[in-house]
Amino acid sequence: MQEVLPLDVIIDLKDCLIWQHDHLVLSNVSLSVRKGEFMYLVGRVGSGKTSLIKTINAQIPLKEGTGVVAGFNLLKLRTKDVPMLRRKLGIVFQDFQLLIDRSVHDNLEFVLKSTGWKNKNEINARIGDVLEKVGLGLKGYKMPHQLSGGEQQRVVIGRALLNDPDIILADEPTGNLDPETSEGIIKLLIDISKTGRAVVVATHNYTLLKKFPARTVKCENERLNEVKLDEEIELEKL
């Protein structure tokens, strides 16, 4: 069942309880994210960042509160509707999760075919388009092990863009990358938000937050709070 969100809001959570198995990690979560908005989700390990992302993409069911994501009511979401919701979402992982026995092109082709694409010309055109967008237009023939960490993460971002999602959820997308490469990934995600997609980046990298300031929401003490970053805040406190 789809529901209409107000104005340009694409994620709307109100008074939600976020669980990880039988453990309550976040209480009274209220969060609205607009189309085209780039925002950070920060907090220490175990504070609830990943659980919140998994709730938004229906990997963890929402049991209490109200949540509407890309027009889908999380509380009333039927199992058969989960794939339709996830077509509206692009997920970027820290550890890439690429198929190591296939080329970049074939990794992306696998995703398109598994989500219903059948026309080979359309598949090839779409793959070429997303690889250009992430700066890998000439790397489709490469195997994952032939790419740098930053290039592999760009493939993952390209994979997330394949079905033209409304939302990109990036969980520690720079966690395995060096500082310079990390900056390039954040710049790319910011550029993607400028195309009208909401981009939520879970991170603990305060250096990136300072260099590319944006709206920041923090998970702490079972609460989700909007914060204003201060130059004196230490990375460990995030």
* Residue 235 scores a pLDDT above 50: no
Mind listing the pLDDT tens digit for each residue in 99-126? 999 999 999 999 999 888 999 999 999 9
pLDDT at 197: 95
Report the candidate in 176, 172, 132, 171 with the shortest Cα–Cα distance to residue 155: 132
Report the candidate in 40, 60, 54, 28 with the shortest Cα–Cα distance to residue 224: 28
Mean pLDDT for 64-80 is 93
Instruction: For the full predicted model, state whether its pTM sits above 0.85.
Output: yes
pLDDT at 20: 83
pLDDT at 238: 52
Mean pLDDT for 67-81 is 93
C-beta separation of 85 from 77 below 8 A: yes
Q: What is the C-alpha separation between 25 and 219, in angstroms, rounded?
A: 9
What are the residue boundaries of the structural domains of the chain, listed by start?
Answer: 34-59+78-237
Superfamily for domain range 34-59+78-237: P-loop containing nucleotide triphosphate hydrolases (3.40.50.300)
Residues above pLDDT 90, as percent of the chain? 74
Two tokens at 229? 């970053």
Evaluate the CA torsion angle 95, 98, 104, 108 in order and state its sign.
Answer: negative
